[in-house]
Amino acid sequence: MSVAVQRVDAPTEGRRRLHMDFGVDHLDVAVARVIELGGTHLEDQQVPGFSWKVMTDPEGNEFCMAAGPG
């Protein structure tokens, strides 16, 4: 698994100041585990050649997950 932190210029509500991205080996397994732990799958995103899942943790903090390089 890999972790990335990116700066987001638009302000966020509450105390959420970071947006983390996770590279995982098995995306469907990771999404299922997040949901099992109380998180939510918000949406799917993609650009040519790359796709990812936007998720939230149980407190509503957003993060993204994508399949890491194979």
Of 29, 12, 20, the closest CA to residue 67 belongs to 29
Each residue of 26-35: pLDDT tens digit? 999 999 999 9
Region of poorest pLDDT, from 6-20, 26-40, 48-62: 6-20
In this prediction, residues 43-54 reach a mean pLDDT of: 92
Task: Report the predicted TM-score, pTM, of the whole model to 2 decimal places.
Answer: 0.76
Question: For residue 14, is pLDDT > 70?
Answer: no
CATH number for the domain formed by residue range(s) 2-9+16-67 = 3.10.180.10
pLDDT at 8 over 70: no
Q: Does position 50 have pLDDT exceeding 70, yes or no? A: yes
Beta strand pairing status for 62-67 and 19-24?
Answer: parallel
